[in-house]
Structure 1
């Protein structure tokens, strides 16, 4: 009888120690958090302004290209073959310049987006780490849709991190 009590006591202590030593895990959808940060609106406004600037310039170049193309087509019969070839080469150069400018614009916009988001991502990461440490979590898993969610039974830190960020 005493042997059974001793065995039960040892088993209880062993299971208590095992469960006590387990890591605390929480999760948060960091993409959702960042999209809700007030600073994102300013970043989006800057990106939209840059996109509109590029779009306006591209549209102006396209209009100039179309106007020249129509003018050259209408006047082609009255010009020499050398002139028509030079005009065709000019139009081809314009078209290449427009395409190159579109690619440059897309790259610039992408770079600007990365530059604007980098400090927001860092700020969110620091807030998540601070809240997780304050609440004693060992691991925080990013539960962003499409991301690898290992465990979502842990506490969701979204409300606490938003509070830490002041929104």
Structure 2
């Protein structure tokens, strides 16, 4: 009984090693395959266009904020503390500034 088991194990080892040499090993460059797909190229172009659109929108928000701050500083230049406080309250500069910052942060996160 032991000999039969030994012969079976030996036979399995021989056939297993012969079969493992018969297998061919291949390497596929998946990145090259993916990049050659037309759908990938279209998706990449769409992503670039969307990124550019959002960059432009963020740049516009930043420019609007910068313009607002420059206008506010010009309005407040040369004013006394009391006059500046009245002007700030009348024009609601702080509320507008917070609103613009919140809008920018919300858009930048999305």
Quickly name the TM-score band, shorter chain normalised.
0.5 to 0.7
**Which structure dedicates a bigger proportion of its chain to strand?**
1
Shift in CA distance, 31/83, structure 1 to aligned 2, threshold 3 Å: farther
Structure-2 residue corresponding to 1:118: none
Equivalent positions of 1:94-113 (< 5 A) are 94-104=100-110
CA distance in 1, matches of 2:31, 2:42: 17
**In angstroms, what is the RMSD of aligned CA positions?**
2.9
Q: CA deviation at 1:27?
A: 3.5
**Which structure dedicates a bigger proportion of its chain to helix?**
2
Structure-1 residue corresponding to 2:33: 33
Shift in CA distance, 82/16, structure 1 to aligned 2, threshold 3 Å: farther
- Runs of 4+ in structure 1 displaced over 6 angstroms? none
Q: CA deviation at 1:93?
A: 2.1
The aligned length equals: 94
Q: RCO (CA 8 Å, sep 6+): is it higher in 1 or 2? A: 1
Structure-2 residue corresponding to 1:72: 72
Structure-2 residue corresponding to 1:48: 48
Q: Which is greater in Rg?
A: 2
**TM-score if structure 1 supplies the norm length?**
0.46
CA distance in 2, matches of 1:103, 1:32: 32
Structure-2 residue corresponding to 1:165: none
**TM-score if structure 2 supplies the norm length?**
0.65
